[in-house]
Amino acid sequence: MRKIIINGNKKLNGIVNISGSKNESLAVMCGALLSDDKVILRNVPNIKDVSIMKDLIDEIGYKVKSSDKIIINPPSNKKLEINEQASEIRNSILLLGPLTAKYGRVIIPLPGGCSIGNRPINFHIEGLKKLGAKIKIINGLIHSEAEKLVGAKIRLDFPSVGATCNLMMAASLAKGETKIFNSAKEPEVQNLAKFLNQMGAEIKGIGTDTLIIQGKKELSGTEYSIKPDRIETITYMILGSFPMNKINIRNTVKEDLSEVIETLKRMGVFINCKNNEIMVEGRTNQLKSTAIIAKPHPGFPTDALTLITPLLSYAKGISKITDKVFPERFSYIKELNKMGANTQQLEYNSVKIMGSHQLFGAKVSCHDLRGGMALVLAGLFAKGETIIEDVHYINRGYENYIEKLQSLGADIKQETY
């Protein structure tokens, strides 16, 4: 087991370079399986979730090479029964669509990942059934078969990112036209569509809530570079917002961050965007409270709602956060309260945060990826020593974050216990 030890309340400043997107990398790696040719992926972050996905793809029979880039070569022999390691990450469900479309069958464990509330996979399964797949769940395993997928009209009850990605990949090899209504519009979804088009798919409506996919008999190999991770960018934007901090964030895409930028500015944070850089400076000791509702893109991201909570604990006044994407992901709030935050659960999906509170070091535990990083942000601002346990959640999604924080002046280290 690993723990993080932080001696907080240090002024942090400097430059941080953003790594490739975790969620985009995992989706694109699954999309690469639709091709019979070599696919080369650049700017893939070196994180635990990517390592697990590489192992799963390698086990299927694809030859995966990794150094400064990931090279995925088509398999000579295929094993379409995925092992239990798939249950460790949520995004393993993204193997379901492409493998069903490409090979006509797959058996995969139900996905795992972070404990942030109910995240049903029925949108994935019902959508694939409309394309012609026969799917059963037996003893925790998803059995999917399809002689040939055929295009269909699919309307999602909720704009699920994962379901949109899965169905888009499957439809790329289905016969005829598929229309996905109420599709997710997150940047990771848009970039996956662009990647598939680069392989020869025909996907229109990218960035809208209706995707139109003309199925192809085959897709070709390609070279592709993963875009910067917007949630990592948001993490360092929030860190730079604390008083006296000043962080220059490089290699990012500001167009993906408009809601977060406007929210931080409304609170009194100084932000200057130029090309692919964002300068964030906590110039004031009187940050303003605010109300934030997490919604699907282009709304305020659910992950960012978790990350901004420590900052709201410091801001003057009473803030309210409401999550309409994952309404049960508030387990980290109890841990923040151990550090001196003053919060009150309102409805099942919202929390009131009484601000103007200095946080103090404490012993706390991670329950999920973004909640764990929220505790790191809190510990960096808090007075005294913070010990964070179960940090394997954070290691799943942030590349070299200890070294990046140390380069900004943080007194932080990771140890085994």
Task: Using DSSP, state whether 318 is helix, strand or coil.
Answer: strand
> For residue 181, what are the β-bridge partners?
155, 210
Cα distance between residue 261 and residue 119, in whole Å: 28
Closest-CA residue to 112 (of 128, 96, 92):
92
Give me the pLDDT at residue 112, please. 66
Q: How confident is the model at residue 117 (pLDDT cuts 50, 70, 90)?
A: very low
Residues noted as catalytic: 114
Amino acid identity of residue 193, one-letter, is A
CA atoms in the 13 A half-sphere facing the CB of 265: 11
Q: Which of 100, 105, 108 is nearest to 53 (CA)?
A: 108
Pairing state between β 385-389 and 2-7: antiparallel
Q: How far apart, in whole angstroms, are the C-alpha atoms of residue 283 and residue 380? A: 17
Buried b (16+ CB within 10 A) or exposed e, 368-397: bbbbbbbbbbbbbbbeeebbbbbbebbbbb
What is the mean predicted confidence (pLDDT) over 402-417?
96
- Give me the pLDDT at residue 218, please: 96
All residues at 6 or more sequence positions from 274 whose CB lies less than 8 Å from its CB, including other chains: none
d(CA 269, CA 16): 18
Take residue 186 and report the two structure tokens written for it: 């997150």
The pLDDT, as a whole number, for residue 397 is: 92
Q: Which of 94-98, 116-120, 248-252 has the lowest mean pLDDT?
A: 116-120
Give percent of the chain above pLDDT 70.
Answer: 97
Domain 22-225 has CATH 3.65.10.10: yes
Q: Please, which residues bridge with residue 134 across strands?
A: 145
Q: 116 vs 324, which has greater pLDDT?
A: 324
Instruction: Examine domains 2-19+228-416 and 22-225 and report if their fold is the same.
Output: yes
> Where are the strands (E) in 276-315, listed by range?
277-281, 291-294
How do the domains of the chain map onto residue ranges? Answer: 2-19+228-416, 22-225
Residue-level pLDDT at 116: 37
Give domain 2-19+228-416's CATH architecture: Alpha-beta prism (3.65)
Q: How many CB atoms lie within 10 A of CB 38?
A: 16
- How many angstroms separate the CA atoms of 60 and 62, rounded? 6
Could you report how far apart the first and last alpha carbons of the chain are, in Å? 6
Q: Which residue has the tokens 């009150």?
A: 344
